[in-house]
């Protein structure tokens, strides 16, 4: 998908658009401690430092953290990739947890596998500092009329 498909959404405004959309979710980025470092219709990159709020009783990152990161990164990208006048809503999230993590900085990278006019499928991979795959997920989203969702 080229940038010409989104001429009405300048690249300089992509981060602001994504932040505005995520901001409406009640500060979820802040709650997760997630920092979006690149936001385009083709890729979303985020990172965060693991701390006590991310851990389950056994001292490893809770699976819900990974699921939330997958949902967030894919949704932000899908919003930017959506046709004009459309918003996206997630309809399925499948996240797999591959390695336990107790501490450190994690990085997520989400890309579209298919970004159509009605539906999108995004994939997000989470890596540790050693570039080991920690978790992977796919989010399926539907593009719906923005007016219906207000």
Residues of the chain with pLDDT under 50: 1-15, 23, 25-26
pLDDT for 17-37, tens place per residue?
Answer: 555 555 454 488 999 999 999
pTM tops 0.75, yes or no: yes
State how far the Cα of 50 lies from the Cα of 70, in Å rounded to an integer.
16
Given a contact cutoff of 8 angstroms between Cβ atoms, the answer to whether 77 and 46 are in contact is no
Q: For position 21, what pLDDT does the model report?
A: 53
| Nearest partner of 149 among 97, 109, 89, judged by Cα | 89
Can you give the pLDDT at residue 150?
56
- The DSSP symbol for 61 reads B
Nearest-angstrom CA–CA distance, 110 and 45: 6
> How far is CA 79 from each of CA 88, 101, 138, 145, rounded to the nearest angstrom?
6, 30, 15, 12
Residue numbers annotated as active site: 71
Model pLDDT for residues 90-102, shown as the tens digit of each residue: 999 999 999 999 9
* pLDDT for the residue numbered 14: 46
pLDDT at site 5:
39
What pLDDT is attached to residue 10? 40
Can you list the domains of the chain with their CATH numbers?
3-149 (3.10.129.10)
């Amino acid at each position: 998908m080229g940038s010409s498909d989104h001429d009405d959404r300048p690249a300089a405004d992509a981060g602001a658009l994504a932040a505005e959309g995520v901001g409406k979710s009640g500060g979820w980025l802040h709650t997760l401690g997630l920092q979006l470092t690149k936001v385009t219709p083709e890729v979303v990159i985020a990172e965060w430092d693991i701390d006590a709020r991310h851990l389950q009783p056994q001292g490893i990152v809770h699976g819900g953290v990974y699921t939330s990161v997958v949902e967030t990164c894919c949704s932000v990208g899908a919003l930017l990739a959506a046709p004009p006048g459309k918003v996206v809503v997630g309809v399925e999230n499948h996240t797999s947890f591959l390695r336990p993590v107790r501490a450190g900085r994690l990085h997520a990278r989400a890309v579209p596998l298919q970004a159509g006019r009605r539906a999108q499928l995004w994939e997000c991979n989470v890596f540790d500092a050693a570039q080991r795959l920690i978790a992977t997920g796919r989010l399926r989203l539907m593009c719906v009329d923005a007016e219906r969702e207000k």
